[in-house]
Structure 1
Amino acid sequence: MLTMSIVLLVQHTTGSFGSAGAVAAVAGVAMALFAPQNGKLADRFGQAAVLIPGVLVNAVSVIALAALALADAPLWALFVAAVPVGASVPQVGPMVRARWAAVLDHPERRALTPTAAAFESVTDELTFVVGPVLATALCTWVHPGAGLATQAVLTLAGGLLFAAQRDTQPVPHGALAGHARVEHVSAFSIPGARVLAVAFLGIGSVFGGMQVSLTAFAAEAGQPGVNGLLYGIFAAGNMLAGVACGAIAWKVGPRRRLILGYTALAITASLLWTVHSVALFAVLGLLVGMSIAPALITGFTLVEALVPTSARTEAFTLLTGAVALGQAAAVTLSGRLADAHGASAGFLVPMGGTVLALVTIVALRSRLVPTLKSRTVARGVGHRSPVTVD
C-alpha cells in the first residue's frame, strides 16, 4: 500500500505524476539501502528488538509525510520525509522466511523449505494485488491521505502482533555469543548472496516497469480502466506458479531451477515491448507472472543453503531490498521512456533488467553452489533420498 498511497497523495497535492513517482522512489531506495542493516540487527539482537521500535518510527514517519504533503510543503521537504519512511519499513516478510528456515533446519523437514518459500511468495503476491486496490479506493473515495493513514495503522498493528510471537523467533546470534564462539558473517560478503541480489534487482525491474508502462499502455489503447485488470492477470500468474512450485517435489536442484526459471522470465519480459493488443498482452502478462515465481522462490530457497543461520534475516532483507531498489529504478526510468517515446519504450526496462541479470547468473553460477554439496529432498510420501544440489 505504501508506494501507491504516496503516489496518489503527492499527485493530488502537487498535480504531478513525476513528483509523486520521485517521492515514492526516494522511499523505495531508502528501504533498499536500510533493509539489509535492519536484517543484520535482527540477526544479532532478535527480531522483536528491531521490529517494535521500527514500526513505531515508521508510523510516525508516514503520518509526518502525509501531513507535509497535505500542507503543500515543498518537494525537497517531501524527499527528506520519505527517507525515514522507507528506511523504517519493517521487514516482516524476510523475518517470516528466516523463521521458516530456522523451523525447517532439520534433515527430516528441510525438504519442506521450497514449499514454505512458495507459500510466502503467494501470500506476498496477494498483498501486491490487494494493497494497491485498497489504497486507491481509500485515497479516491475517502480522503487523499487515507491510504497512508491506513497503511501506517496496519503496519503498526501487524508489526507489534508479529513481534509478540516469540516462540518461532530464531535465536539471535548475539545471545549465543556468551555460550559459544559465533562467527559474525555479513550476508553481503557471501558471493552467492550477491549473485542472488543481482537476480532480484532484475525481478524488481519487472515489477516497476510493469506498474508504470501498463498505465501508459492502457491509456494509449484508449482503455485506461483495463490497467488494473492486466496487472491483476500478471499477479495471478505469479500466484498460480507459486502454488505449483510449492506442490512439486523437485528432482532438479535449485541452482538449475533458478537458471531455467530466469531464462523463461528474460524471454517473456523481452517480448513485452512488441505487443500492442490488450488481449495478447493479457496472455503475455500471465506468462511473465508465471515466470517470476520460480525464480523468486528458488532464490529464497538457495539462501537456506548458501547463508549461515546467523545471517539469514540479513540475506532475506538483502534480496527484498534488491527488489525494491530495482523497482524504484525501473519506475523512474520506465516513466521517462514512456513519456518520451510511448509505452513500448517503457517495457524495454524489464527486458534490459532481466537479460543483464540472467547473464550475471549464468556467468557466476559456480558461486551458487552451497558449501554442503547434497541435501535430502522429498521423493514422494514417506520416501526421501539424497541428491546433489545443482
Structure 2
Amino acid sequence: MAARRTADNPTRVGYGALLRTPGAWTFLAPAFAARLPYAMLSLGIVLLVLDTHGSYGTAGAVAAVAAVAQALIGPQTGRLADRYGQSAVLVPSIVVHAFSVGALIALALGHAPVWALFLAAAPAGASVPQIGAMVRARWVSRLSDSPATLNTAFAFESVTDEFTFVIGPVLATAIATGFNPSAGLIAEAALTVAGGLAFAAQRSTAPVRHPRAAGAARVSALSSPGVRLLAGSFLGVGTVFGAMQVSVTAFAENAGRAGMSGTVYGVFAGGSMLAGVLYGLIAWRHAPRQRMLGCYALLVLGCSTLWAMPNLTALAIAGLFCGLAIAPTLITGYTLVETLVADGAKTEAFTWLTGAIGLGLATGSTAAGLLIDRFGASGGFVVPMVGAGLGLVALLTMRGLLVPPSTPSRTVARGGALGGGQASVLTPVALD
C-alpha cells in the first residue's frame, strides 16, 4: 500500500533542492563553460570559411562534415567513458579537438582546398567533448534512488542545453565580427580546453567505471531496441532544429526584415526553455512512455502550422507553440533511455540521443535549404513537419520497445534535503 500511495502522490522536487545536492556545483560550473563550444563550433566554422572561401555552400559543407563526425563518433567516446572513466576520455579528446580546430583555422586562412578543410573538420567534430551526456550520467549516479529528483535534473539539463544554444551562436558571432572571423573558433577551442579540463578534474562526482570483464559480452546501448527507437525519434527533433534555423532566416529575408530572424528563432528557443523549466517542477503521474508520446504529438501539431504562416509575427507565435513541446520531449526521452540500458552503457546511451539530434540538425538544414531554393521561404517549414511526423509514427507503432526490460522497485528518500541531514523515511516506489 505504501508503494501505491507514493505512486499516486508523486513528490515534486524543486530546482533549489536539486542544486543543493552535495557536490553538484563542482561539476555544473565547469560543465557550463565546456558545453558552450558545442553550440559555437558549427557557426564558427561557417563564419570563418565564408570569409576565407566566399561560398555559403562550402562553409555549410565543412560545418556539416564536423556535425556528422560528431554525431557518429560521440557515442563511441561515451562508451569509452562508461568503461574507462570520464576523465580518461576527456583529456585526450580535448587535446585532439584543440589541435584539429587550430589546423582548420590555419588551413582556412591559408585558402587551402575544400578537401583539406574536410580533413580537419572531421576530427574537430569527432573530438567535441560529450559534456552534456557526461553531466547527465553524473546525475544518474548521484540520484539513482530518487526518480523524481532525476526527472528534475534532466529538466535542468535540457534548459541548460537550450540556454547554451541561445548564447553560444550569439557569442561566436559577436567575437568573430568584433575581432576577426577566426576569433570565434579560437574562443570555442579555448573554452573547450579550460572548461573541459576543469570538468575532468572533478573525479569525485564522476560515475564509477564499468570495465569489461574478461570473456564477458560487450555492453552496448545501441543493442537495446528502445534506444534505437529513441535515437530515431531524436533524429526527427534534430530536423526541427536544423530546418527552423534555415527557414526562419529565409522567411525573414524574404519579408525584407533579415534582422528579425534572430528574434523569431529566439522566441522558439525561449518557448522551449520555459516549457523545460515548468516541466521539471511538475510531479508527473503518467509513465514516461505515455508522456513521450503526448509531448511528441504536440511537437508534430506545432510544426504542422509553420508553413502556412503569412508574416513574421504569426510565425513567431507558431514557433513559440512549437518550441513549447521541444524541451518536454527531450527531457522525457533522456528519462526513458536511462531505464533501458545497464549501468555500464548510460553515458553511451545519452550520447546516441545527442548525436541523433546533431545528425538530424545537419539533415534538416540541408533539406530545408533545398526546398527553399525550389519552392520559396515557406517550403523549408515542410521539413520539421515531415521529420517530426515520421518520428511520431515510429514511436506509436513501436512504443512497446520503450518498456524497460525489468521494472524493479527503487527506494526513494522522502522528506529532508538531498544527500544529507537526518535519516529519512524510505518507501519503495515502482518505476513509471
**Which residue is equivalent to 1:141?**
178
Question: What does residue range 320-359 of structure 1 map to in structure 2 within 5 Å?
Answer: 320-359=354-393
Give me the whole-angstrom Cα distance separating, in 1, the residues matched to 2:373 and 2:137.
41
**Which residue is equivalent to 1:122?**
159
CA pair 377-245 structure 1, distance change in 2 beyond 3 A: farther
Structure 2 gap segments, 5+ residues each = 1-39, 417-424
Larger displacement relative to structure 2 (343-352 or 312-321): 343-352
Aligned residue for 2:206, secondary structure, equals: coil
Question: What does residue range 1-390 of structure 1 map to in structure 2 within 5 Å?
Answer: 1-106=40-145, 109-174=146-211, 177=213, 184-373=218-407, 386=429, 389=432
Give me the whole-angstrom Cα distance separating, in 2, the residues matched to 1:65 and 1:43.
30
CA pair 343-230 structure 1, distance change in 2 beyond 3 A: same
State the one-letter code of the partner of 1:37. Answer: Q
CA pair 116-205 structure 1, distance change in 2 beyond 3 A: same
Give me the whole-angstrom Cα distance separating, in 2, the residues matched to 1:189 and 1:129.
34
CA pair 378-235 structure 1, distance change in 2 beyond 3 A: farther
State the one-letter code of the partner of 1:41. Answer: L
Larger displacement relative to structure 2 (327-336 or 47-56): 327-336
Q: CA deviation at 1:276?
A: 2.4
Give me the whole-angstrom Cα distance separating, in 1, the residues matched to 2:280 and 2:177.
37
Question: 1:21–1:331: 8 Å Cα contact kept in structure 2?
Answer: no
Q: CA deviation at 1:345?
A: 1.1
**Which residue is equivalent to 2:6?**
none
Give me the whole-angstrom Cα distance separating, in 1, the residues matched to 2:276 and 2:371.
31
Q: CA deviation at 1:373?
A: 3.1
Aligned residue for 2:203, secondary structure, equals: coil
State the one-letter code of the partner of 1:66. Answer: I
Structure 1 gap segments, 5+ residues each = none
Q: CA deviation at 1:110?
A: 2.5
Q: CA RMSD in A?
A: 1.9
Q: CA deviation at 1:379?
A: 12
**Normalization by structure 2: what TM-score?**
0.85
Aligned residue for 2:111, secondary structure, equals: coil
Give me the whole-angstrom Cα distance separating, in 1, the residues matched to 2:64 and 2:225.
28
Give me the whole-angstrom Cα distance separating, in 2, the residues matched to 1:161 and 1:10.
30
Question: 1:114–1:245: 8 Å Cα contact kept in structure 2?
Answer: no
Q: CA deviation at 1:307?
A: 1.0
Give me the whole-angstrom Cα distance separating, in 1, the residues matched to 2:128 and 2:431.
38
Larger displacement relative to structure 2 (379-388 or 198-207): 379-388
Partner deviation per Cα, 1:57-89 (whole Å, 9 max, x = no partner): 101101111111111111111112111011101
Question: 1:250–1:378: 8 Å Cα contact kept in structure 2?
Answer: no
**Normalization by structure 1: what TM-score?**
0.94
State the one-letter code of the partner of 1:166. Answer: R
Give me the whole-angstrom Cα distance separating, in 2, the residues matched to 1:254 and 1:146.
43
Q: CA deviation at 1:387?
A: 5.3
**Which residue is equivalent to 2:28?**
none
Query: Identity of paired residues, percent?
Result: 55
Q: CA deviation at 1:374?
A: 6.2
Aligned residue for 1:90, secondary structure, equals: coil
CA pair 252-221 structure 1, distance change in 2 beyond 3 A: same
Aligned residue for 1:371, secondary structure, equals: coil
Larger displacement relative to structure 2 (370-379 or 52-61): 370-379
Partner deviation per Cα, 1:20-50 (whole Å, 9 max, x = no partner): 1111111000001101111111111111000
Number of matched pairs: 384
Give me the whole-angstrom Cα distance separating, in 2, the residues matched to 1:83 and 1:64.
11
Aligned residue for 1:206, secondary structure, equals: helix
Give me the whole-angstrom Cα distance separating, in 1, the residues matched to 2:300 and 2:147.
30
Partner deviation per Cα, 1:76-132 (whole Å, 9 max, x = no partner): 1111211101110110100110111111112xx232111000000111111000000
State the one-letter code of the partner of 1:90. Answer: P
Question: 1:187–1:193: 8 Å Cα contact kept in structure 2?
Answer: yes
CA pair 322-123 structure 1, distance change in 2 beyond 3 A: same
